[in-house]
């Protein structure tokens, strides 16, 4: 005749460890999927038409107008 007693404490510990291990594994898988999703969104942040564009141009300086007046100052040398 089978025993109707509760499982032994050893079995309870094994089941608790198994549940704990599966919980840790589930958290690790969800974390890894979150990182993968974040990297995918980082690599391709927008869809189709919402991308920004960057234009690179070289600006040349405008020519300067000639000076309207030239002044020459001469001083005597000091002995």
pLDDT band at residue 1 using 50, 70 and 90 as cut-offs = low
pLDDT on residue 21: 95
Q: Kindly report, residue by residue over 22-57, the tens digit of the pLDDT.
A: 999 999 999 999 999 999 888 876 555 556 788 999
Judge whether 22 lies within some domain. Answer: yes
Judge whether 15 lies within some domain. Answer: yes
Judge whether 57 lies within some domain. Answer: no
pTM: 0.43
**15 CB-near residues (< 8 Å, 6+ apart):** 7
Judge whether 79 lies within some domain. Answer: no
Distance from C-alpha of 52 to C-alpha of 54, rounded to nearest angstrom: 7
User: Which structural domain range is residue 14 located in?
Assistant: 9-43
Judge whether 32 lies within some domain. Answer: yes
pLDDT on residue 36: 94
Count of domains for the chain: 1
Classify residue 21 as exposed, middle or buried by CB count within 10 Å of its CB (0-12, 13-18, 19+): exposed
Judge whether 61 lies within some domain. Answer: no
């Amino acid at each position: 005749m089978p025993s109707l007693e509760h499982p032994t404490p050893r079995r309870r510990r094994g089941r608790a460890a198994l549940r704990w291990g599966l919980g840790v594994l589930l958290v690790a898988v969800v974390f890894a999927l979150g990182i993968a999703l974040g990297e995918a969104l980082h690599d391709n942040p927008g869809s189709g038409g919402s991308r920004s564009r960057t234009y690179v141009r070289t600006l040349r300086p405008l020519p300067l107008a000639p000076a309207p007046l030239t002044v020459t100052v001469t001083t005597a040398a000091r002995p």
